[in-house]
Structure formats: structure tokens, C-alpha cells
A = this chain, B = another copy of it.
């Protein structure tokens, strides 16, 4: 049993994480914070939410907890990360602050100075399946972005083995919760219902550098990534359709065998049988990632689905916590 605190409980990711932690058998949830809603119960914001008090972040007892989750906007959480680490707590940060290794890249993509660049070397990019050995010793984990989780899990086996023969295209579609709980014109029901919209396509979305950084770690000659996010009229879920031009010699059966070998023992990843494609219905409300695989015109086509709030955020954060503290990896997750 560990003592846990959570900063930023009022947003969709924070709320999802509270629900997971609240029922986790190894976790005592000591506090949850919200700057704007301090003093309220979480049940006041979410009709089906647990009746837990939201406290102001400055009142959070950092020294009482073993682990802190940060569900704050980028640049807002890093100072809390610093304070938590100083108080002796470990940190899983769900913002983008510790994902990029280069402070300069961070500034380029996020438009602000990095608030704690000295922590960047230590931060572990927590795509759970590929850093399982490092998590037990990690003090600071950068939880991956939602799109990157769906795309990187799909790409890794083929990329690491050097199958990619040209620019990779990730055509990704996300439910609206990915845009956050703050109401905006583009998340108004009337604008979204019946509509479907691409945004920040090509090489302009902030999740791009995070993906290319991971790709470069897996392959010395990783090709460029074209990443096209779209807004789906559903509350949650991401489906990424990923196209990788193949070098000569790679066939669907060979690749299928490769994927099955790499992922067969993974509790949360499922490679679909030939002919089956990933859909949101496979994964919503679970920590699963399902991956479909086929080849056409010498191109590997991957369909990869996750729930953006679970495997794409809160669920993976819990999975990382489980691995950090030596709990069984699936504890508290479905």
C-alpha cells in the first residue's frame, strides 16, 4: 500500500485517474487538487464521481506521499514536480513537460522556456512496455501522449527491425475528451456532432517530436513521420491508421510473426488475427491497445486503437506506477 497524491483532478484525465486510483487495492489516495474547484467535492463536477474533496494545490501535503501524479497543463506541472521530488516523492507527470529530452525542442514546440531543464536527463519516457526494466528505479516518469501511445506501440516492432523504407504516415482520429474539459468553440456539441475535422496535420502537432524522438531511439535510420490528427465525434478513444512503406523482403506473414512474438506476452496489447481491424469498440474504457496489421502495395498498414483517457493517459500512468512500485502490472486495470 502506497500513499499517493494527484494534482489536477478536475480535468478529464485527472478524473479518470482518480477513478482508477480510488479503487486500486495498493493505493491510498491522500489528496486530489484543483486550483479552480478547491473546496468542492469531485462529485460536484462529475455526477458519477466519488465524493472526494478537492484541495488547493498549495495545501497538498507532499511529504506524506510516496508518489505524485501531475495532470496539469504543460509548464504548470514542472515546478510541482520539482517540489515533490525534493519532498522525497516520486512523480508521474501526465503533461508534456518531461517527454522531450531537449529543452530547446520543448521551447520550440511549446513556446515557453522549460521550467526545470535539469530534470530532463533523469526523466524516463514511460511507454510502459518498452521501459519495464527501468521503471522500478525511476524517480520521474514522463507519461506519453495519447496519440504517441497509439502510434508508437503500432510502429515499434517494424521500426526497430528496420523494415521502414520511407516516410511513415500516421492518420489518427481522436475523441473529444482529448481536447480537454475546458469548454471551447471547437468542443461545443453543436460544432462536433455530425462533423469530422482534421487539425494540425503534417508536421505541426506537438506530439510529433515526442514520436520522432522515440523512433530515433529504436532505429538509427528512422524515416520522417507525417502525423495527421482528426477530431472524431465521440467522447473517447483514438484510432490511428499507420502506413509504413516497406523495404524489400517484408511480407505480411513475416511481420505478423514479428508482432506476435513481441507482443504475445503483453497483458495490455493484442495483435488482431489476420483480416481483423482495430476499432474503438475494442478498447474504450480499458487499458488495452489492439493492433491490426496488413500489407498492400508494399506498405504495412497498421490500425491501432486505445482509449485516450486510459492507455493514452491515466491507465498507462497506473501501469507505470504498478511497475515502479513492484505491484502486479495489471492491478487496478482492465
Q: Is A105 interfacial (CB 8 A cutoff)?
A: no
CB distance from A271 to the nearest CB of B (A): 14
A301 within 8 A of B: yes
Q: Which one of A65-73, A272-280, A311-319, A323-331 is at the interface? A: A272-280
B224 touches A282 (CB 8 A): no
A183-241 with Cβ < 8 A to chain B: 183-185, 187-199, 201-204, 224-226, 228, 230, 232-237, 239, 241
Decide: B282 and A47 in contact? CB cutoff 8 A: yes
Q: Does A322 contact B (CB under 8 A)?
A: no
* Count of interface residues, chain A, beta-carbon cutoff 8 Å: 69
Tell which of A75-83, A86-94, A290-298 binds the partner: A290-298
CA distance in complex: A117, B237 (Å): 46
C-alpha gap A46/B286 in the complex (Å): 14
Q: Known A233-B189, A298-B167; judge A280-B196 contact (CB<8 A).
A: yes
Contacts of A288 in B (CB 8 A): 48
Task: Return chain B residues, CB-CB under 8 Å to A176.
Answer: 188-190, 193
Give chain A interface residues in 153-203, CB to chain B under 8 Å: 166-167, 169, 171, 173, 175-177, 181, 183-185, 187-199, 201-203
The answer to whether B297 and A167 have CB atoms under 8 Å apart is yes
Whether A197 lies near B280 (C-beta < 8 A) is: yes
Decide yes or no whether A299 CB sits under 8 A from chain B: yes
Asked if A31 is at the interface (CB within 8 A of a chain B CB), the reply is: no
Question: In the complex, A279→B232 CA distance in Å?
Answer: 11
Q: A199–B233 contact, CB under 8 A? A: no
Cα-based distance from A311 to B297 in the complex (angstroms): 29
A281 at interface, CB cutoff 8 A: yes
* Max count, chain B CB within 10 A of own CB: residue among A169, A188, A236: A188
A284 within 8 Å of B (CB atoms): yes
Contact B301 A234 (CB under 8 A): no
| Residue pair B195, A192 in contact (C-beta under 8 Å) | no
> How far in angstroms is the closest Cβ of chain B from A14?
14
Nearest CB in chain B: distance from A60 CB, A? 25
Cβ B171 vs Cβ A241 within 8 A = yes
Contact B194 A48 (CB under 8 A): no
Given A47-B282, A301-B202, A188-B191 contact (CB < 8 Å): no
- The answer, yes or no, to whether A259 is at the interface (CB within 8 Å) is no
Binary interface profile of A, 252-282, with partner B (CB < 8 Å = 1, else 0)?
A: 0000000000000000000000000111111
Given contacts A201-B277, A281-B47, A281-B48, contact A226 B299 (CB under 8 A): yes
> Can you list 23 A-B pairs with a CB-CB distance of less than 8 A?
A12-B190, A46-B281, A48-B284, A166-B166, A167-B299, A169-B299, A176-B188, A176-B190, A187-B190, A189-B235, A193-B193, A193-B233, A194-B235, A196-B234, A196-B237, A196-B280, A197-B281, A198-B239, A198-B278, A201-B301, A201-B303, A203-B297, A226-B243
